[in-house]
Amino acid sequence: MKILVVEDEKKVASFIKRGLEEEKYEVDTAFDGEEGLSKALATEYEVIVLDVMLPKMDGVAVIKEMRARKNRTPVLMLTAKDSVDDIVAGLDSGSDDYLTKPFAFAELLARIRALMRRSEQERGAEIRFADLRLDPVSHKVWRDDKEIDLTSKEYALLEYFMRNPNQVLTRTMIAEHVWDYTFDSFTNIIDVYVNYLRKKVDRDSDKKLIHTVRGVGYILKEED
């Protein structure tokens, strides 16, 4: 298992590298955005740990360029910013998860393992619900044969809904499965992303599929 750590603070990069190597991972490091992007595009990694504030090219620009070049390697962003707007901006850039500094190494390791598991699960057959289709290999989604353009986090959220249709999914369940979070303050971001997803999936259709269960969470179902 090969991991790339892109972090300009060399002490932090060394700490992460040493810890991951003790867990038997092979680790490459880069200390600025341009070097990180070059390595990310040249080598196949299982996960990339990417700092947001980097010299030469920031982390958001790095991941946007990666996704523009069809590189789908899971990315865990490290950031000192923890406002909802900052988190949403990072996720919308194409990252798969984020971790705020300072962090415990055990949490970093747990998040990396979760991203690896999720990446393995994505290799599978097409999923269908009503007139929705989702391809876990290409990360493409269609509604009534019209392709829907989703961010990586919107895609992950829709996939969770489609793998659990006709079931009420609480905000805690969504946080744990899509973001690997369990604390209550994260639910605001879940509501924001469900609204984003609902606009893209249901906006142009008379048949609404994503429904709110007041006081509980959400459900993917066909209207009665």
How would you classify the pairing of strands 127-129 and 132-135?
A: antiparallel
Q: How far apart are CA 78 and CA 216, in angstroms?
A: 31
Comparing CA positions, the residue from 115, 102, 207 lying closest to residue 153 is 115
- pLDDT per position as a tens digit, 200-223: 999 888 899 999 999 889 999 997
- pLDDT per position as a tens digit, 154-169: 988 999 999 899 999 9
CA dihedral 69, 70, 71, 77 (to 10 degrees): 80
- pLDDT per position as a tens digit, 36-84: 999 999 988 989 999 998 999 999 899 999 999 988 889 999 988 766 7
DSSP conformation class of 177:
I
Mean of pLDDT over the chain: 87
Q: 194 vs 224, which has greater pLDDT?
A: 194
pTM: 0.58
- CA 31 vs CA 9, 35, 119, 136, 222: distances in Å: 7, 7, 26, 32, 49
Q: Walk me through the domains of the chain, giving residue ranges and CATH numbers.
A: 2-121 (3.40.50.2300), 127-220 (1.10.10.10)
Strand pairing partners for 77? 50, 98
Q: How far apart are CA 158 and CA 139, in angstroms?
A: 11
